[in-house]
Structure 1
Amino acid sequence: MDQLLTADAFFTLFMLILLQAVLGFDNLLYISLESKKADPSRQSFVRKMGVGLAIILRIVLLFVLMSLIQYFQNPFASLHQEGLLEFEFNVHSIIVLIGGVFIIYTAIKEIWHMMLMHEHEVEDKSKKRSETMIIVWIVIMNLVFSFDSILSAMALTSHMDYTPQLILMSIAIIAGGVLMIVLADKVANFLQKNRMYEVLGLFILFIVGIMLLSEGGHLAHIKIFGNPIEPMSKTTFYFVIIVLVIVDIVQGRYQKNLLAQKAKEEAILEKIESDN
């Protein structure tokens, strides 16, 4: 326990909380978009309840991973056809792959609805069940996203004894969860007030799904025609996000200028017509 009162322990705790915050960005975006399917008056409750339950289950997952980490990493199904297809699936890779597929499906479905201008309509009789399902999906995806953060946290604290390691990671998970609860409403409110950024958010979510698929494929050691699937690095991910944001800003500014120019031209034409 003396390890908890050292400068190294406090620095490690700071790094763990920072890790939870950075890796929780994509999760936060998913929570904000998913909670929109609930009744407007209940969306804040849905987000807080989903994240709150996820915090508890994250700590449970932490206990499970620390006790059974070898079973999550050991392959249970493999295929080796050199030059065609190779893989070694384990529990970790399956969870990440399923999460990636679900995220991509969600993003594409929402983009398709947005293109068709269809709003999510929920009948009154199914609102309660839908609210419960939204919370369930928020919890499930929170756990999917938490795998990497927990494994990274275990690597950061590998030099410590079991009990201090567990305490520090639990504190970081709770702190990261509280931060997520605070920011979830702010992100959701921002997207609600700036509807034009919803498209950007959905495409970022799509990139998140691609990242999870690449990571799951790497964990499963998948090779297609002898070419291994490489995971998308966090650096690449954030670079793509920055490019998307810049393109969205430039496109918005350009569109605004075009509309202003069109309005100016129409005003000039109206003036000419009135003079004639």
Structure 2
Amino acid sequence: MADMFDFLADPTAYVALFTLVVMEIVLGIDNLIFISILSNKLPENRRATARRAGIGLALILRLALLSTVAIIVQLTEPIFELFGHGFSWRDLILIAGGLFLVWKATKEIHHSVDPEDHKDTIVSQAATVTMGAVIFQILLLDLVFSVDSIITAVGMTDEIGIMVIAVVAAVMVMLLASGPLSRFIEQNPTIVMLALGFLLMIGTTLIADGLGFHVPKGYIYAAMAFSALVEFLNILAKRKRRLDREKAAGAKAESTTHDEPIKVPAQVHGAPPTVT
């Protein structure tokens, strides 16, 4: 076990460690978005438990996969060929996970935009949604993202210790960020549609990757960052318009109060005038 961390004596290993930690955190964004919006389907008092369970499962899966690195490496070897493309177990896992994401995102988008559909949406707190169902769906995607994450780690370094530290660091960041991200999504309903769009895009790229059409991750995350920036500006603009309306309404009410004429009570017929 001690041999696993012998790399700590090598200064150059810290560069690889930092690079891999950043890479694992970036790769965890997909998983974190899914966990955050799916946990928001539960009642508020159970969401934190679901998030912690989902992220804990992600850590357990990734550490378990790290203990079988030799098997993970073999997942990239083709097991059969179709239409001139060799499919490996990794490809099949990515395709299955991508199809699940596309189905889930499409289903939730349909529920959100169809006025005739009265089923629960991703932002509702329907009693029919159970903790077990949410955790099971999180577990399915944890498996897909964990396999992709570990294969990326294996391709970047040969040191198991570096992989372990990078995975644990990335999961800790996910754990810290999951609460604020879930609350932000809940407080800004338009973000839900954007997050579902992200999941739809991620699912499509997983399917494409499994079919042999590799899409550089930089393009995907650049598109996500740009879309998030535009949505953030929309939120700021909407908030400014609301404050302007509230300020204008307050000024109008104050002006009406000052300009209102003083009403003198009508004198009762036959009654003597009141002397002040």
Which of the five TM-score ranges fits, normalised by the shorter chain?
0.7 to 0.9
Match of 1:196 among 190, 199, 202: 190
Q: Secondary structure at the match of 2:8?
A: helix
Please say if 1:40 is aligned against 2:44: yes
CA distance in 1, matches of 2:195, 2:82: 37
Which is greater in Rg?
Answer: 2
CA distance in 2, matches of 1:95, 1:102: 11
| Structure showing the higher helix proportion among its residues | 1
List alignment gaps of at least 5 residues for structure 1.
Answer: 81-85, 159-164, 219-229, 265-276
- Aligned position for 1:88: 86
- Aligned position for 1:72: 75
Shift of 1:251: 5.6
After superposition, the Cα gap between the structure-2 partners of 1:254 and 1:52, relative to the gap in structure 1 and judged at 3 Å, is closer
Shift of 1:10: 2.5
**CA displacement 1:197-217 (0-9 Å, x = unmatched):** 111111111111111111111
Answer whether contact 1:51 1:139 (CA < 8 A) is retained: no
Identity of aligned residues (%): 29
Answer whether contact 1:50 1:135 (CA < 8 A) is retained: yes
Shift of 1:257: 8.8
The TM-score, its normalising length taken from structure 1, stands at: 0.76
Shift of 1:87: 2.8
Please say if 1:181 is aligned against 2:164: no
After superposition, the Cα gap between the structure-2 partners of 1:50 and 1:113, relative to the gap in structure 1 and judged at 3 Å, is same
1:23-34 aligned at under 5 Å gives the runs 23-34=27-38
Please say if 1:235 is aligned against 2:233: no
CA distance in 2, matches of 1:205, 1:68: 28
After superposition, the Cα gap between the structure-2 partners of 1:68 and 1:123, relative to the gap in structure 1 and judged at 3 Å, is same
Shift of 1:250: 6.0
Shift of 1:107: 1.0
AA aligned to 1:207 is: M
AA aligned to 2:204 is: I
Q: Secondary structure at the match of 2:40?
A: helix
The CA RMSD over aligned residues, in Å, is: 2.8
Match of 2:66 among 57, 62, 65: 62
Answer whether contact 2:97 2:141 (CA < 8 A) is retained: yes
**CA displacement 1:213-234 (0-9 Å, x = unmatched):** 111111xxxxxxxxxxx22111
Shift of 1:181: 1.0
1:22-171 aligned at under 5 Å gives the runs 22-64=26-68, 66-80=69-83, 86-116=84-114, 118=118, 119-120=120-121, 130-158=130-158, 165-171=159-165
- Which has the larger displacement, 110-119 or 97-106? 110-119
AA aligned to 2:33 is: L
- Which has the larger displacement, 237-246 or 21-30? 237-246
